[in-house]
Amino acid sequence: MNVIIVDDEATVRNTIISMLKTYFPGINVSAAAGSIEEAYKEIVHHKPDLVFLDIGLSDGNGFELIRKFNPPDFKVIFVTGHQEFALDAIKVSALDYLLKPVDSEEFCTSIKKAMEVINHKEQEIKLQALSENLQSRKKLKRIILHNADNLQLVSITDIVRAEADSNYTRFTLSDGKHILVSRTIKEFDKLLSGSGMVRVHQSHLVNINFIDKYVRKDGAYLILKDGTKIPVSPNLKKQILEALTEQMYE
């Protein structure tokens, strides 16, 4: 989960950052801002899941920032030194609010609520993937790749290759993006079997549709359409050639 902290008091920003590191080390602080103008730019750039938002800022109030996003696609926890702002926060669909000075117990409760709400989005993504794959029946159409920050629903046809990185797997997509997932390539080899992804090496899975050349010399290797060179394991040569042959008749 990515968060942005918006407060014109540096001590409050530092307090929230410190509490996140202590109680929720898996949460990433993408940015911290002290004004509406600065916060708007950071939110547009980082697209956070959650924003800690001070109501009284030096160049306006937090509600003015919220109104710039109609509707906001992030959750909000308002941070205020004034109790009366709480009702207004609720009226604009705030997730929660914290009173200054921020109490650690209330802070933890608010974060847990935020996680529950944000996880509903993840549930929607999972259901969408399940629905599409059930309709397909014969082959997987989409896969959920879960990195440290979020879930991403990715079409199998957009995956160029996957490479082992210790106990992680790094996916390369057709648009050049990379996604690092905390699962082994062995797991994905089994999961993606029959979907067009072929195991060509102990450390590599390749989408058969992105193979440009199969080179027999120097122990055999593949050249992908983006120019990437991928080694071929001797014991996998036969199944790779069979997969390439099958592709010709599809």
Q: How confident is the model at residue 91 (pLDDT cuts 50, 70, 90)?
A: very low
> Does the pLDDT value for residue 18 go beyond 90?
yes
> Does the pLDDT value for residue 4 go beyond 60?
yes
Instruction: Report pLDDT for 196.
Output: 85
Range with lowest mean pLDDT among 29-38, 116-125, 155-164:
116-125
Instruction: Report pLDDT for 25.
Output: 92
Domains of the chain as residue ranges with CATH: 2-120 (3.40.50.2300), 138-248 (2.40.50.1020)
Q: How confident is the model at residue 250 (pLDDT cuts 50, 70, 90)?
A: low
- Dihedral Cα 130, 193, 150, 24, nearest 10 deg: 110
Among 28-32, 70-74, 147-151, the range of highest mean pLDDT: 28-32
Instruction: Report pLDDT for 226.
Output: 92
What is the tens place of the pLDDT at every residue in 96-144?
A: 788 889 999 999 999 988 888 777 777 667 757 766 775 655 567 888 8
> CA 221 to CA 232: how far, in whole Å?
5
| 41: three-class secondary structure by DSSP | helix
What is the residue-averaged pLDDT of the chain? 85
| 173: three-class secondary structure by DSSP | strand
Backbone conformation region of residue 219, classed left if phi is above 0, alpha if psi is from -120 to 50, else beta: left
Range with lowest mean pLDDT among 10-24, 49-63, 111-125:
111-125
> Does the pLDDT value for residue 85 go beyond 70?
no
Q: What's the farthest any 2 CA atoms get from each other in the chain?
A: 75
Q: For the full predicted model, state whether its pTM sits above 0.75.
A: no
Instruction: Report pLDDT for 72.
Output: 82
Sign of the C-alpha dihedral, residues 27, 83, 93, 6?
negative
Percent helix, strand, coil in the chain (nearest 5)?
Answer: 40, 30, 30
What is the tens place of the pLDDT at every residue in 169-196?
A: 999 999 999 999 988 999 888 888 778 8
